[in-house]
Amino acid sequence: MPYLFTSESVSEGHPDKIADQISDALLDHFLAFDPDSKVACETLVTTGQVVLAGEVKSNTYLDVQQIARDVINRIGYTKGEYQFSGDSCGVISLIHEQSQDINQGVDRANKEEQGAGDQGMMFGYATKETPNYMPLALDISHRILTVLADLRRTDERMNYLRPDSKAQVTIEYADDDTPQRIDTIVVSTQHDAFDEDEAMLARIKKDIIEILIPLVVEQLPANLRPLFDSEITYHINPTGKFVIGGPHGDTGLTGRKIIVDTYGGKGAHGGGAFSGKDPSKVDRSAAYASRHIAKNLVAAGVSDEVLVQVSYAIGVVEPTSIFIDTYGKAKVDLNDGAIAEKVQEIFDMRPFAVEERLQLRNPIYEASAAYGHMGREPHSETRVFESPYNGKVEKQVEFFTWEKLDYVDRVKDAFGLK
């Protein structure tokens, strides 16, 4: 029997995502000037205020207030009428030094013996239903909001948009788990004040359906475009006007959008947030490594869908377990336990090995803090960091290394695939 599945995304201007981006901007600056920094930064944003907290062990010193302001302005909170602006908000820092009790289990004389920064389980997931091996409902939700952000910045037809927005997509699937059509699209977007609410709502709905959605469809491969038919139910700003938004409308906290950050509710999530954490925290690094494994397994043809779980004990080098679920869709004559054994032979999941393999000691994290950490395009670019205390640093770095299909040949060899 056909069924419906829904995923949502939130924009870079959503309060929780502002907090995530500030936390990761702080992390990037610490890593740029001291790659061995240990960082766990949390951010709270509300009307006119930003609070920074957390634990740091680093040989560098930063102007954390200015870093936070720069992020807020980049997102687009630059006007006093938003009741939250990078140039005028208060920024309070409560960051302090990392506990030595935690650090002693992580840092070792031999870096290869580095212990996990915490206990817990982390998940990675991949599916063949999109070219980037991501769940379709989440992929479309992310695309809706990235296009909306582009329109907000560059298109005069929709220059009434403000930074805060959310999108949700419901897809109808057949019994064999193939997507049949898009059932419902929900978009709630902050906007400037209008003289007439009814006229405003009508214009926003028209612009979303006639300007934004066609641009989203253009980004999709030809086989997915027919999913957008004339029968889609649209809910555009369903509660009415949305003028008061951002941190003035809702307090934001680091780490409250972990399902948006990963797979939109498909697969599983271990519960640990990513943003603000350096890669010694396996909540982050092992989740990336698990995605890397899952994606390469699917791309190599081991299965059309894969879930990977890895678990750790704090201070312990080797994972406590690695679990594979192919959902009965494996293309190899092995059960999931045997597949997991081969995965352990191919991928070194010790924390330091993960950091090295995925180049996670680089300042690459702010880019991941909005529109999902998974399913993004790997690329390289030069980043420049300046500090009143440390001068200027220029680094050539590679982003989203965990999305690379660089282990496909090794996986094929290990499983005897062509």
Q: In this structure, is the dihedral angle defined by the CA atoms of residues 340, 288, 4 and 303, taken in order, positive or negative?
A: negative
pLDDT in tens, the chain (418 residues): 899 999 999 999 999 999 999 999 999 999 999 999 999 999 999 999 999 999 999 999 999 999 999 999 999 999 988 999 999 999 999 999 865 655 555 665 566 678 887 899 999 999 999 999 999 999 999 999 999 999 999 999 999 999 999 999 999 999 999 999 999 999 999 999 988 889 999 999 999 999 999 999 999 999 999 999 999 999 999 998 899 999 999 999 999 999 999 999 999 999 999 999 999 999 999 999 999 999 999 999 999 999 999 999 998 999 999 999 999 999 999 999 999 999 999 999 999 999 999 999 999 999 999 999 999 999 999 999 998 888 999 999 999 999 999 999 999 999 999 8
The pTM of the full predicted model, rounded to 2 decimals, is 0.95
Helices 336-346, 282-300: inter-axial angle, 10-degree rounding: 110
Binding-site entries: 14, 16, 42, 55, 98, 164-166, 241-242, 250, 256-257, 273, 277, 281
User: Distance between CA atoms of 104 and 324, rounded to whole angstroms?
Assistant: 31
Binding-site entries for K(+): 42
Query: Of 188, 190, 179, 191, whose CA–CA distance to 139 is shortest?
Result: 179
Give the model's pLDDT for residue 245.
92
Domains of the chain: 3-10+135-245 (3.30.300.10)
Angle at 163 between CA 14 and CA 150, to 5 degrees: 115
User: Distance between CA atoms of 78 and 149, rounded to whole angstroms?
Assistant: 15
Binding-site entries for Mg(2+): 16
Helix or strand run (H / E) with residue 296: helix 282-300
Binding-site entries for ATP: 14, 164-166, 241-242, 250, 256-257, 273, 277
User: Distance between CA atoms of 12 and 153, rounded to whole angstroms?
Assistant: 13
Query: Of 305, 351, 301, whose CA–CA distance to 324 is shortest?
Result: 305
Query: Of 353, 288, 292, whose CA–CA distance to 317 is shortest?
Result: 353
